[in-house]
Amino acid sequence: MERAELIELIEAAFDGVPQPPELTLHVAEAHDDYDYDRDAEHRRKDHIGRWQDVPWEHIERCTCALSYLDPVGMRYYLPAHMVWYLKNFGSTRVKFDSVLYLLGYEIGDASSDSHFRDTFSLFSANQLRACALFVKYCAEDETNWTDVEFATQAYIHTWSRFESGGGW
């Protein structure tokens, strides 16, 4: 799949996803720094509106936030991060594969399985498929810009089952 086609697929799959009211991008990033007492202050830094319009500066500043989001926030911010990653693929703007590493997970460990299901519990079959195709795109990167080995394992062990559009 071509990068532009994958971006369109992600945008269509996640179009209309509501913005999280509480655990937003800057709040989640602050939680990574053990700052739990100033959520309202951090929330004021966040973009209000469609996920497609989240400023790139917010994504670049909040690279650890994805790990701290709840399912509502994950469904809103993950597509923004995936599209940003794809649009900057091969660029020095992409410092590390945080969005890819978030999607890495191996089925089999009971506590990991539970966490994975919780994290992606609000995702539709089309949204899970978009994630699967994103991971597959990274796994098939012939330039080795991304962590191909990690992406390949994540695709094989987890995401391949969602590629056809099936859910849980």
What are the extents of the domains in the chain? Answer: 3-162
Express each pLDDT in 85-132 by its tens digit. Answer: 999 887 766 666 788 888 886 555 666 677 788 889 999 999 999 999
Cβ(53)–Cβ(47) below 8 Å: yes
Mean pLDDT by 10 residues, the chain (168 residues): 96 97 94 94 95 94 91 96 91 72 70 78 95 95 88 91 81
Phi-psi label, residue 126: left if phi above 0, alpha if psi -120 to 50, beta otherwise: alpha
- Residue 128's nearest CA partner among 120, 138, 118, 136 is 120
Q: Could you tell me where the DSSP H helices lie in the chain?
A: 3-14, 25-32, 39-43, 56-61, 71-87, 98-102, 110-119, 125-139, 148-157
pLDDT at position 97 is 76
